[in-house]
Amino acid sequence: MTRPAWVRLDNASNIFLAARSDADPKVFRVSAEMDHDVDPLLLQAALDEIYDRYPLYHAVMRRGVFWYYLQDSSLRPAVTPEEEHTCAALYQVDRRNLLFRVVHHERRISLEVFHALSDGTGALWFLTDLLDSYVRLRHPEPLEPGESDPEALTVDLPDAPEQASDLHADPSEAAADALGLTPDSFAHYFRRRRRKDAKSQNTPAPEAAPTPQPSRRPAGLGRRTVHGVHRVRGTRTPDNRTRLVELSMPATQVLALARAEGVSMTMYLTGLFFEAVRLSSGGLGRSQTIAASVPVNLRQFFPSNSPRNFFATVRVEHTYGQGDDSLGAICRGLEEQFRPEATPEALERKLRRFIRFERMPLLRILPRGIKDIILALVNVANNRGLSVAVSNLGRVALPEPAESRVRRMMFHVAAVRPQFCSMSHDGMLTVSFTSPFTETDHVREFARMLADGGVDVSVAATRVTEAEVAGAADLAEVRS
């Protein structure tokens, strides 16, 4: 009998296992809203068709004496209707189950992933192939020019943006490929001597990119206020489910506001988030500093086709009462902090330090349980220096015919603190707020400021309190 292939977790994944909790199971969701009610049988057929293209998604999590590892499995995924709350736990200790799920509800197709398996970019690749296969199965014959699907909604499509790279080229790490599991890009670039082929010359700083979280402070940030960072507090949801509020708006309207302040959309939305937190808290109290972690997709600087985690985070902050506190000044200050830390040189220096720490002989011989405790304590310490978190998957264009059949795309994470995740498709920007608290005052202020700026905002929210859930059940009973 052949032993299943296995591979150690990458550098970013260990923290997710050490830091997960009932309130924050380290699960994120990427969704697409179709122009029709989803056909579950065709969705299952599409999942079966594309599943073998992603050996990583066959893996189950195993625990060794010194580390966690991913092990190949013969399990097959099954599409299910959405019955649990969003971002419900996926990983269960010592249970051999897949670390992702595909669910559907009315017009939505959602992919939920345990963050130790993959990051937002890797999950988006999987969902893109799933949508493409599903739409091709549903519409095997392409529409003639001018012909429309009688079930489809009419949507004006802008020009699709160009894709940054070939998303599905063969992995460069032959050894990992031979095992059937995809390579660890952290090890490929940062455990070896500096590579000459890294794209480190005259590369512009990026927009903030996928994935949610984890809340780690990058080393070397100049201005950092540890004591006195504002901590958002509130009423926990009754069963630890994530409070989700989605804001949808035309991307061009928000981009115009960001350009008027001379900043990227990500930093504009982050500055707006800071202001929303300040206004909803009644002035922040004694702690006048708000800080956020912003993930950066490393693939734009260090080419990789692996769907495994490959990102870093940058910490930005603003202290009120020490200068210009206008929205524009806040956004520009955040941009000035973010850009120097999001260069390939700065990211590489930081990641090499992280990996040197991880590879210290003393740490390597410690049992896994002790490593978990150390990482959990480090995570708690870093969380004290953060108020909120943000993540931006950017602008997404799908291959035809899926592009024409998807109305919106959404992205959010289970959150240990208030967080927003954003992405845009077909000219629509969706900003999804998640929180462990029932209160949504900061989202109300965020939407109000956008509306005051001339942005057309629509709002949708999940029900989390007992009264809200009971009200939804009563409404469903009346309708039946």
Give the full edge-to-edge strand order of the sheet including 419-425. Answer: 311-319, 289-297, 388-395, 419-425, 428-435, 243-250, 458-461
Q: What is the pLDDT of residue 398?
A: 96
Distance separating alpha carbons of residues 423 and 431, to the nearest angstrom: 7
Reference 459, options 480, 478, 433; nearest CA is 433
Question: 417-464 pLDDT, tens per residue?
Answer: 999 999 999 999 999 999 999 999 999 999 999 999 999 999 998 766
Q: What is the pLDDT of residue 182?
A: 67
Environment class of residue 327 by beta-carbon count within 10 Å: exposed (0-12), middle (13-18) or buried (19+)? middle
The residue that leads in pLDDT, 242 or 149, is 242
Q: What is the pLDDT of residue 87?
A: 94
Distance separating alpha carbons of residues 258 and 243, to the nearest angstrom: 27
DSSP letter assigned to residue 426:
T
Reference 314, options 277, 278, 274, 270; nearest CA is 270
Mean pLDDT along residues 312-319: 96
Residue 108 near residue 43, CB atoms below 8 Å: no
Q: What is the pLDDT of residue 228?
A: 82
Q: Write a three-state SS string for 231-245.
A: CCCCCECCCCCCEEE
Q: Is the pLDDT of residue 230 over 90?
A: yes
Going by pLDDT thresholds of 50, 70 and 90, the confidence category of residue 225 is low
Going by pLDDT thresholds of 50, 70 and 90, the confidence category of residue 5 is confident
C-alpha torsion angle, residues 300, 127, 98, 6 (rounded to 10): -40
Question: 382-422 pLDDT, tens per residue?
Answer: 889 999 999 999 999 999 999 999 999 999 999 999 999 99
Vertex 337 angle, CA 335 and 341, to 5°:
110
Task: Give the number of other Cβ atoms within 10 Å of residue 88's Cβ.
Answer: 17
Mean pLDDT along residues 170-193: 59
Mean pLDDT along residues 105-130: 96
Burial 93-124 (b: 16+ CB within 10 A, else e): eeeeebbbbbbbeebbbbbbbbbbbbbbbbbb
Residue 70 near residue 56, CB atoms below 8 Å: yes
Q: Is the pLDDT of residue 35 over 70?
A: yes
Distance separating alpha carbons of residues 395 and 479, to the nearest angstrom: 38
Q: What is the pLDDT of residue 153?
A: 32
Straight-line distance from the first to the last Cα atom of the chain, in angstroms, rounded to the nearest whole number: 55
Which residues pair with residue 69 across a beta bridge?
8, 62
Six token digits for residue 211 = 């994935």
Q: What is the pLDDT of residue 144?
A: 52
Residue 304 near residue 298, CB atoms below 8 Å: yes
Mean pLDDT estimate for the chain: 82
Mean pLDDT along residues 211-218: 35
Distance separating alpha carbons of residues 264 and 457, to the nearest angstrom: 20
Question: 58-95 pLDDT, tens per residue?
Answer: 999 998 888 888 999 999 999 999 999 999 999 988 78
DSSP strand pairing (100-105 vs 80-81): parallel
Q: Is the pLDDT of residue 257 over 50?
A: yes
Question: 141-173 pLDDT, tens per residue?
Answer: 765 544 444 333 333 333 333 333 333 333 334
Q: What is the pLDDT of residue 375?
A: 86
The residue that leads in pLDDT, 96 or 355, is 96
> Which range is most confident: 176-180, 325-329, 350-354?
325-329
Burial 151-183 (b: 16+ CB within 10 A, else e): eeeeeeeeebeeeeeeeeeebebeebeebebbb
Six token digits for residue 33 = 């809203």
Six token digits for residue 110 = 């959602």
Mean pLDDT along residues 288-301: 95
User: How far apart, in Å, are the Cα atoms of 320 and each of 274, 283, 297, 313?
Assistant: 10, 9, 29, 23
Reference 126, options 108, 105, 110, 137; nearest CA is 110
Q: What is the pLDDT of residue 472?
A: 45
Question: 259-294 pLDDT, tens per residue?
Answer: 999 999 999 999 999 999 999 998 787 889 999 999
